[in-house]
Chains A and B, each alone.
Chain A
Amino acid sequence: MSTVDPLTSAASSVGQLPALLIMVPLLAAPVCVLLRRELLAWVLALIASATSTVVAWQVFMHVGEHGPIRYAIGGWAAPTGIEYYIDTLNATMLLLVSGLSSIVLYFARESISGSIGQDRHYLFYAAWLLCLTGLLGIAITGDAFNVFVFLEISSLATYMLIAFGDDRRALVASFRYLVLGSVGASFILIGIGFLYAATGTLNMVDLAQRIPDAESERAVLVAFSFLTIGLMIKAAIFPLHAWLADAYHRAPIAVTAFLAGTATKVSLYVLLRFFYSIFGADYSFGTVFLNGILLPAAVCGFTVMSLVAVFQTDLRRMLAFSSVAQIGFIVAGVALATEAGLSAGIVHIINHALVKATLFMAVGCILYRVGHVHKPSLDELYRRMPFTCTAFALAGLGLIGVPLSAGFVSKFQLIDALFERELWLVVVLVLVSSLLSFAYIGRTVEIMLFRKGRAAPSATSTGVEHGHIDGINEAPLGLLLPLYAMLTIMIWVGLNGDLTLGVALDASRDLLQGMRPLGAGAGS
């Protein structure tokens, strides 16, 4: 309550930055609704998102130099009040989410101009900003219940964004996601309730301290189980991924690009935070033996889902299943509970977010010009849309994980970690899954580049006419610019793999160490 407690002075070197990160998009959202002008709302949303990115960058740099930041909301010191706790892992997530949002938001305006009525655009941007607020909030907060609140803010905004899809099936996809997402969030809520019952605190640092000597072992175990299931639903980990494919397929493509890069990744971050920082690696992966569930789920995930992706004809659906497979890679690394595995998981969170956002944006460009993304009928699209197809192919290489691309670093690190644990079968399956991703990306690129247009009777039955590519031009600059911005970042991250890997190693060391006790983490 008093403004001169040590926490405040410790945080004064970063000042108000952590709060600013959340406040800017939160304040901009209602102003968007009040403005009601499509252009003004977009400009405001873009400014808010960009501001968040700049702030996130400063926070990231500060954490890199001075260690974790703790910011007490309302001046109420940590165990009593809600605090924001930022270490290397969150700072990376914050930067990733806000940066992705800024680039994809620039992409969004042109992308939704045709499919959503002009009079509803301001609502779209307001929902986008609320979603951003929620995602940033999940990543920044150091309070377990606050995670739930921000999770629901972002989820509710997400349901709305998905329902903006131009197809009526978007509504059904949104409703099904709502039902599953609410169940997942409710499970997380139950888990947090049991944690509170067992320890009497909601602060993450405090929880980490008190869980080892909690009175009731069983309450902690129940909390752990509920949180596992809830987070697996939210992060779309293999057997609980049912909502993802429809939601990604039917949502406006800009929303898909944003969500694919952020929503599931932030849920994975929460999973890491709970299992490593709060319960501790020893408890999660020793006592409870979580890897017994997570590792098989991950392995099945990336094998089966890659296979499913090969047989998809719609590019959006193909990439959606590929997302589930890639989440499998992340979880496989996380489930190893070693420094190498954990850093592989974290670095793949970053890489996959960038790669998948780029791919979905490229698909968005095709969708904008061609009107559909039915894979077998995109013959020789390269001649018409060379820049888009180049971007798709380059991002595709990142997804496969060829050397010097973004995906290579993480897959190499993952295989390294698997060697360390001598899980040979998993190593083989990782390679098989990579081959499968080569199959579906390669097939698409092959069709785009080389295949001559042919009037295949099989495709006409699906209602897609051929020969339609004539008269199609390259996507407008409003789409290409953000696409190439994202592609550049992706390639840069791929070429400087040691940088992201260094960040991920820092983050995983932090995680394995557990959260620092009160006061000790407040860097000067």
Chain B
Amino acid sequence: MMQSITGLYNYWAVIILMMAGLYILIARYNLIKKMIGLGVFQTSIFFLYITLGKVSGGTAPILTDTVPAGQLAAATGATAPEVVYSNPLPHVLILTAIVVGVATSAVALALAIRIYEAYGTIEDDEIRHIDLGDIDS
């Protein structure tokens, strides 16, 4: 029982962050707060991917001449004959996803600014109110 909590702590962190992000996204009316929720939600996914890429005892996947193959593995107690690298692929994927996330935030903030200019508020319920008051064409 304890093992499943402490041993997998990053997965628990991912779950907590994911739920917190989704909750903010759903429960808050303020558009900026919604964006913060979305940001937290997306960040939790980044954590998930990074966790997937971690190899225990692994180092950054950069070829080095200074550390001969095997020496580092011996130091960390691994039996593999070569340097143990973390899996770089999830990192690369998440780098792309981070950029996508930044782009999404930028578009969302730009929209929020335009909404503020047009409505004078960024509270979703107030906007809904204004819209309902408007005459539908």
Q: Helix, strand, loop or mixed for chain B's interface? A: helix
Asked whether B10 is an interface residue with its Cβ less than 8 Å from the other chain, the reply is no
A228 at the B interface (CB under 8 A): no
- Specify which of B48, B100, B114 lies most central, judged by the most chain A CB atoms within 10 Å of its CB: B100
**Cα–Cα, bound, A171→B111 (Å):** 6
Give the CA-CA distance A193 to B51 in the complex, in Å.
11
From A175, A196, A462, A463, B31 is in contact (CB under 8 Å) with: A175
- Interface locus among A86-94, A181-189, A349-357, A381-389: A181-189
Q: What is the distance, in angstroms, from A145's C-beta to the closest C-beta of chain B? A: 5
Cα-based distance from A57 to B37 in the complex (angstroms) = 43
Does B108 touch A at the CB level, under 8 Å?
A: yes
Contact pattern, A 160-200, Cβ under 8 Å of B = 1, otherwise 0: 10010001110110110011001100100110010011000
A174/B96 in contact, CB under 8 A: no
B135 at the interface (CB under 8 A from A): yes
B20 partner residues in chain A, CB cutoff 8 A:
none
CB pair A372–B45 under 8 Å, yes or no, is no
Contact of A374 among B48, B90, B137 (CB under 8 A): B137
List A residues 177-233 near B (Cβ within 8 Å).
Answer: 178-179, 182-183, 186, 189-190, 193, 196-197, 202
A172 to B124, CA, bound (A): 9
B residues less than 8 Å from A167 (CB atoms): 137
Asked whether A175 lies within 8 Å of B38 as measured between CB atoms, the reply is no
Confirm or deny: A34 has a beta carbon within 8 angstroms of a beta carbon on chain B.
no
A175 touches B48 (CB 8 A): no
Contact of A178 among B41, B107, B118 (CB under 8 A): B107
**13 A–B contact pairs at CB < 8 A?**
A145-B96, A149-B96, A149-B100, A152-B104, A172-B131, A175-B112, A178-B108, A179-B34, A183-B25, A183-B38, A183-B41, A190-B48, A202-B89
Interface residues of A (CB under 8 A from B): 145, 148-149, 152, 156, 159-160, 163, 167-169, 171-172, 174-175, 178-179, 182-183, 186, 189-190, 193, 196-197, 202, 313-314, 372, 374, 462-464
Query: Which residues on B are within 8 Å of A, measured CB to CB?
Result: 22, 25, 31, 34, 38, 41-42, 45, 48-49, 52, 89-90, 93, 96-97, 100, 103-104, 107-108, 111-112, 114-115, 118-119, 127, 131, 134-137
